[in-house]
């Protein structure tokens, strides 16, 4: 069982290491914004270095300690996901589900490293941050631009705004996204064992 635990947590570790390597390479070898972007497949897929001060899609908590609260929340979520992964391994749950949770854990920790340390390592905390610790900005670089332009004025709330269909993301984000997609697609297979156990308990 110990080897099983190590094997799946190793998946998380690989995601963390790969995510951090890519971010460090981008930070030291690319200019931020459009000026430094590298086209991979025309305008559709490109490397575009930017920093994200908050949550997904650039959202953030707009008060002095909002970023600190977000980082603390991420730490709590990381601990909860790690415990859930361990419990799934102990219960010998579906292998696909365990791998997906390991990918989510790796992605969560990958972005957490940015929030906790990048304000110090890369001096990228917002200028108004109360402290560089726990206020680092997440580094993103993969830009899949399916569509971008101005939305029609008749669309409520967003009409007239300029919008790109896909945000810029990183290895950690991709790991989480892929894992969630697989869980949604294969949820009946992944949670079949748990459903069978519930049926057996109810029949007993």
First vs last C-alpha separation in the chain: 29
Catalytic, out of 19, 31, 128, 140: 140
Q: Decide if 173 is catalytic.
A: yes
Q: Are 120 and 136 in contact (CB under 8 A)?
A: yes
| Of 69, 101, 68, 108, nearest in space to 87 by CA | 101
Q: Decide if 123 is catalytic.
A: no
Beta-strand runs (E) in the chain? 38-41, 45-52, 138-144, 148-150, 162-164, 168-169
Q: Are 81 and 108 in contact (CB under 8 A)?
A: yes
Q: Are 97 and 89 in contact (CB under 8 A)?
A: no
Which residues participate in catalysis according to the annotation? 140, 173
């Amino acid at each position: 069982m110990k080897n099983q635990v190590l094997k799946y947590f190793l998946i998380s570790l690989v995601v963390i290491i790969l995510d951090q390597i890519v971010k460090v390479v981008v930070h030291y070898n690319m200019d931020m914004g459009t000026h430094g972007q590298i086209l991979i497949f025309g305008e559709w897929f490109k490397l575009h270095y930017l920093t994200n001060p908050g949550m997904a899609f650039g959202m953030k908590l707009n008060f002095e300690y909002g970023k600190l609260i977000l980082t603390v929340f991420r730490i709590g979520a990381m601990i909860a996901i790690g415990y859930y992964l361990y419990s799934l391994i102990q219960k010998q749950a579906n292998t696909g589900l365990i791998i997906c949770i390991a990918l989510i854990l790796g992605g969560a920790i990958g972005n957490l490293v940015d929030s906790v340390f990048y304000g110090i390592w890369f001096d990228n905390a917002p200028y108004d941050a109360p402290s560089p610790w726990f206020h680092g900005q997440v580094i993103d670089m993969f830009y899949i631009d399916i569509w971008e332009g101005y939305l029609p004025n008749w669309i409520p709330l967003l009409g007239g705004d300029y919008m790109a269909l896909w945000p810029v993301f990183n290895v950690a984000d991709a790991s989480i996204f892929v894992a969630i997609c697989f869980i949604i697609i294969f949820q009946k297979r992944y949670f079949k064992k748990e459903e069978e156990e519930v049926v057996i308990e109810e029949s007993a």
